[in-house]
Amino acid sequence: MTTTKPKVFIARPVPPEVEAYIGRHCTYSKWEGEKPLTSEQLAGHITDVEGLLTAGGRIDAELLDHAPHLKVVSTMSVGYNNFDLVAMKQRGIKGTNTPNVLNDTVADLIIALMLSVARRVPEMDKYVREGSWKRGDNESLFGLDVHHKTLGIIGMGSIGRTVARRAKFGFGMNILYHNRNRNEQGEQEFNASYVTMEELLEQSDFIVLMTPLTEDTHHLIGEAEFSRMKKTAIFINASRGQTVDEEALVRALQNKKIYGAGLDVFEKEPVHPDNPLLSFPNVVLLPHIGSSTEKTRLDMAMQAAENMVSVLQGGTPAGLIRELRD
C-alpha cells in the first residue's frame, strides 16, 4: 500500500542535505527567487500544503486564510515572535522552532562583543590601519578588563547559561542574573546570584540582554535602566532589537552614562545609514549574525526540517512551541 507523502513548501534556501531529507519524507516545492518572498508571494505558494519551512516573515491570520490544509509552520530560528500564536492555535496549526542548537555559537559571539567593546578592538584595528599609531601612545589606547568583572545576564535561558559558563570558567567573572524564574542549575553550576533588575543594572560591569521579544519585554531596557548602569558599564544586546529603546541607548551613549555597547540586533533591520549608533566608536555593530556559522545554520535548518516532518507524521518534536501544544 502506497502512502501519499505530505506536501510542503520551503520558503527559504536550505542546504542540499536538508532538502534531500525533506524529499525523502515529503513532496515539496521551494522558493527559487534571489530575494526573500513577500507575504503575497508566500500566500500563493501555500494554498495546498500541509507544512511550511521558513525563517522570519509574519505568520498571521491573513496569511493563514490562504492555507486551509496547513498543519505546521517550522522556523529555522529560536525566536518565533513573527508567529501569530492566537491565529495558529485557532486553526490547529502547530509551530516549531530550533532551541539549543545555536547556544554555543551565539554565546561565542556575545563573548566576542564583550571583548571587542572593552578592549576597543575594532577601534584599535582602525587606528593601526590608518597609520595613527605612534611611539609613546599610552593611555589614549587603554580599554577595560573583562576578567574577574561582574556580568549581569537578563534572561538566563539556555544561551544565557552558556554565556555564564564561558564567563565564569574562562574569565573568572562574577555572575548575576535576572529571570522570570529562579535558575537553580545556574546558581549551583556558576555560583550565580539571582537579583532584582535594579540590583543587576547597578552592580554589573557587563550587561547582556537575552530575553525573547514579547509584549512584556518590548523596550525592556530604556531611559530608566540606562540611568541605573555604571558609567563604566558595557551593554550587550543579542536578543531582539525591539527589547531596547534605541533612542534611549543613543542618549545614554551621548551623555556618557555607559562606557559602550555591542549590538547584534536593532529596532529596524537592516540599519539605516543615518542611524546615530553608527557614529559612536565605542559601539560595536554586527548584522544580526548571532548564529551565522556554516555548521550551526546547517544544524538549525535540519532541526527545523525534522520538526516539520515529525508533526506531519503525528509526532511531538522537541522544538514544538509550548503555546501551540494540545
Residues 184 and 271 in one domain: yes
251 with 134, same domain: the answer is: yes
256 and 298 fall within a common domain: no
How do residues 251-302 score in pLDDT, each as one tens digit? Answer: 999 999 999 999 999 999 999 999 999 999 999 999 999 999 999 999 999 9
CATH number at residue 116: 3.40.50.720
Assess whether 19 and 154 both reside in one domain. Answer: no
Residue 197's nearest CA partner among 177, 182, 211 is 177
Active-site residue flag, 178: no
For 233, other C-beta atoms within 10 Å of its C-beta total: 25
> Which cell numbers hold the place of 251?
542618549
The catalytically annotated residue of 240, 246, 297, 306 is: 240
Could you give the CA distance from residue 195 to residue 204 in angstroms, rounded to a whole number? Answer: 11
Q: 194-237 pLDDT, tens per residue?
A: 999 999 999 999 999 999 888 999 999 999 999 999 999 999 99
Whether 58 sits among the annotated catalytic residues: the reply is: no
Residue 2 lies in a domain: no
| Residues 162 and 214 both lie in one domain | yes
> What percent of the chain is predicted at pLDDT more than 90?
88
How far, in Å, CA of 18 to CA of 16, rounded?
5
Q: How confident is the model at residue 1 (pLDDT cuts 50, 70, 90)?
A: very low
What would the mean pLDDT of 102-130 be, rounded to a whole number? 97
Query: Are 300 and 162 found together in one domain?
Result: no
Question: How far apart are alpha carbons 221 and 257 in whole angstroms?
Answer: 14
Question: Active-site residue among 62, 198, 269, 323?
Answer: 269
Task: Out of 91, 119, 165, 288, pick the active-site residue.
Answer: 288
Q: How many angstroms separate the CA atoms of 74 and 158, rounded?
A: 20
67 belongs to a structural domain: yes
Residue 244 lies in a domain: yes
Cell numbers 527545523 correspond to 304
On whether residue 216 sits in a domain, the answer given is: yes
pLDDT of 316 above 90:
yes
| Among 168, 52, 165, 24, CA closest to 103 | 165
CB 178 within 8 A of CB 197: yes
Regarding whether 74 and 132 lie in a shared domain, the answer is no
Beta bridge partners of 74: 53, 96
143 vs 139: CA distance, rounded Å: 9
146: helix, strand or coil: coil
In contact, 296 and 98? CB cutoff 8 Å:
no
**Structural domain total, the chain:** 2
Run of H or E residues at 305: helix 294-312
pLDDT tens-digit series, residues 131-186: 999 887 788 899 999 999 999 999 999 999 999 999 999 999 999 999 999 989 88
Which cell numbers in the block locate residue 228?
541605573
Residues 234 and 145 in one domain: yes
Domain extent at residue 266: 103-285
Do 177 and 41 reside in the same domain of the chain? Answer: no
Residue 2 has pLDDT above 60, yes or no: no
Q: Is residue 300 part of a domain?
A: yes
Is residue 96 domain-shared with residue 108, that is, in the same domain? no
User: What is the reported pLDDT for 165?
Assistant: 97
pLDDT for residue 325: 82
Q: Work out the average pLDDT over 303-313.
A: 97
Alpha-helical (H) ranges within 83-190 are: 85-90, 103-118, 121-129, 158-171, 184-190
Report if residue 94 sits inside a domain: yes
Whether 3 shows a pLDDT value over 90: the answer reads: no
Residue holding cell 555559537? 105
Q: Residue 81: what pLDDT?
A: 87
145 and 231 in a common domain: yes
Instruction: Please tell me whether residues 91 and 111 are part of one structural domain.
Output: no
CA–CA dist 31, 19 (Å, integer): 12
Within a domain: residue 1? no
Judge whether 240 counts as a catalytic residue: yes
Q: How many CB atoms lie within 10 A of CB 229?
A: 23
**DSSP annotation string for 130-183:** TT---TT--GGG-----TT-EEEEES-SHHHHHHHHHHHHHH--EEEEE-SS--
Cell readout for 112 is 566576542
